[in-house]
Structure 1
Amino acid sequence: MRRWLRCAAFALLALAAAALLYVGTACALMFWPANAGARAPATGTPTVEAWVLSNGVHTDLVFPIRSATIDWRELFPPAHFKAVAPDAEFVAIGWGDREFYLHTPTWADLTAARAFGAMLGGNRALLHVTYLTRAQLRHGAYRLPLSQPQYARLADHVRATLTGGRATPIAGAHYGNDDAFYEAEGGYHLFETCNTWTGRALRQAGVTVSRWTPFDFNVTWHLQPVRPPP
């Protein structure tokens, strides 16, 4: 019995040490960011109005629906959605675990088994796309200082995530009228999270961001939050 208790205590200590190492590494790397010398586009340089949107756990990339670089309606047609708002101006794009995405529409639906299942991996990923109005960017939005070439690299990152480079919707999968899910490359696990997908896109685009972004704060730490009007 004592031997079993010692083994259990050792296992718990090892798990706690691994968790501390995981979180500590993520925090430490915020202070050694990639693209540390990156500057916002110079005045007069054509820029793109874009953001990172965070709910405190998960991050999405947010882009104008249409620009000189891409018209997202051509890649993600409104016909794939129940009813896109007529005043929608932006599209939010995020990557995540298939089972978690499809079965956790609200935090009330979260279960320990589903959370651990996502962390342990084994499930394929999906891309989640939502058309947004400007009013929906009042909270949790962070400005992205993007030039047109940087924006083009982010658009390429999204296209490369789609299975076969094509937007294949998941039939009947929606949280509301303005969102849809698509087949995506890769699989979710402890070291490849929704936020590492966002962080990788930003690093490739030349935006200052942590070298590893398992958490939302790793993504947003170096960005400028949008202050909602009073």
Structure 2
Amino acid sequence: MLKKIIRITLKTLGIIIGILALYALAAWLIPYIPVNKKARLEGPDEVTIYIKSNGVHTDIVVPVKTAQFDWTKYIKYEHTDDKDSTMAYVGIGWGDKGFYLQTPQWSDLKFSTAFKAMFYLSTSALHATFYPQINEGENCKAIQISYQQYEALNKFLVNSFDLDAGGNTVHIPSVNDGYGSTDAFYEAKGRYSLFYSCNTWANNALKAAEQKACLWTVTDKGIFYQYK
């Protein structure tokens, strides 16, 4: 009986290790497969958006107001500590609510938070950050898109919010979240998992706007590889 238990245990561990190895291989290789590779060669350059990473997590940065769209209908200056209405850009990122609100620093990460996030057991949130201006760099790239593509991008972003019955965003009050004074959080649709991360969401946003993106990625490296 003991030998049978050991054999089953070893077989189970082997299966788990095999699955994790396949996942790691896919997460490493698939981001090199591009979609919309020739996107920059098509259509007029009418709106400038940005992809911006903190080294782990990718945000989509858009103008707060254009003739086509006003983001203050969904993301309010007054929901930030500064309440500064002169900010010209807003970065929008999607992620696990536990990570956003309960993990100010990586040292604060709890096993329960990580476990829930990885296996569809938690809820999600949208994180918004206002900026006075955007400077390009290694972790921030400008992308020129058409009005039509911008409309498609905004549709994807708005559809990520979990709106109330009146069509309004649901602000999540946050205290000591480890973020700055120009940040706000909102209830979002969807659930974080091993296969759908914050970067998967950002990558899908680029796909919606018909921009260069990976076939699939869970890391920011896959996205930025397409914009070298």
Instruction: Tell me if TM exceeds 0.5.
Output: yes
CA distance in 2, matches of 1:104, 1:151: 32
Q: Paired residue for 1:228?
A: none
Q: Paired residue for 2:157?
A: 158
CA distance in 2, matches of 1:142, 1:15: 38
Query: Which of the residues 151, 171, 174 maps onto 1:172?
Result: 174
1:21 aligns with 2:25: no
Q: Paired residue for 2:106?
A: 107
Distance 1:169 1:159, change over 3 A: same
User: Is residue 85–residue 133 contact of structure 1 (8 Å, CA) maintained in 2?
Assistant: no
1:49 aligns with 2:48: yes
Distance 1:32 1:172, change over 3 A: closer
Note the C-alpha offset of 1:193: 1.3
1:192 aligns with 2:196: yes
1:201 aligns with 2:205: yes
Identity score, percent: 32
> What is the one-letter code of the residue matched to 1:203?
K
Query: Which of the residues 214, 217, 220 maps onto 1:213?
Result: 217
CA distance in 2, matches of 1:135, 1:198: 18
Q: Paired residue for 2:34?
A: 33
Paired residues for 1:49-68 under 5 Å = 49-68=48-67
Note the C-alpha offset of 1:95: 0.6
Query: Structure 1 stretch 196-205 or stretch 158-167: which is displaced more?
Result: 158-167
CA distance in 1, matches of 2:202, 2:97: 17
Note the C-alpha offset of 1:21: 1.2
Distance 1:46 1:68, change over 3 A: farther
Query: Which of the residues 174, 182, 186 maps onto 2:186?
Result: 182
User: Is residue 30–residue 215 contact of structure 2 (8 Å, CA) maintained in 1?
Assistant: yes
Aligned residues: 222
> What is the one-letter code of the residue matched to 2:195?
F
User: Is residue 58–residue 198 contact of structure 2 (8 Å, CA) maintained in 1?
Assistant: yes
State the superposition RMSD in angstroms: 2.3
CA distance in 2, matches of 1:5, 1:88: 61
Gap runs ≥5 in structure 2: none
Gap runs ≥5 in structure 1: 225-230
1:117 aligns with 2:116: yes
Distance 1:137 1:74, change over 3 A: farther
Distance 1:9 1:57, change over 3 A: farther
Q: Secondary structure at the match of 1:134?
A: coil
Distance 1:19 1:180, change over 3 A: same
